[in-house]
Amino acid sequence: MDILETHFVYLQKTIDDLNLVVIEQQKEIREMRFFMDLLAKKVAALTLGSPEPVVDERPPHY
């Protein structure tokens, strides 16, 4: 019975640790989404302000 209790405590600790990791990852995902939205708005503003589309041209030395 002691072995089962030991395993249970170990598993509960593992679950708690994993839960903390998931919470931290969720915070990071929210932050990344915020910055991704910010960058998308900046790109859209740059694209709208440009009179012609941006073309990826080769430099003259090629």
So where are the chain's domains? 1-45
Tokens of 6: 């030991």
pLDDT of residue 42: 92
Task: Give the model confidence (pLDDT) of 4-61 as tens digits.
Answer: 999 999 999 999 999 999 999 999 999 999 999 999 999 988 888 766 666 677 777 7
Question: How far apart, in whole angstroms, are the C-alpha atoms of residue 12 and residue 5?
Answer: 10
pLDDT of residue 56: 73
Question: How far apart, in whole angstroms, are the C-alpha atoms of residue 7 and residue 1?
Answer: 10
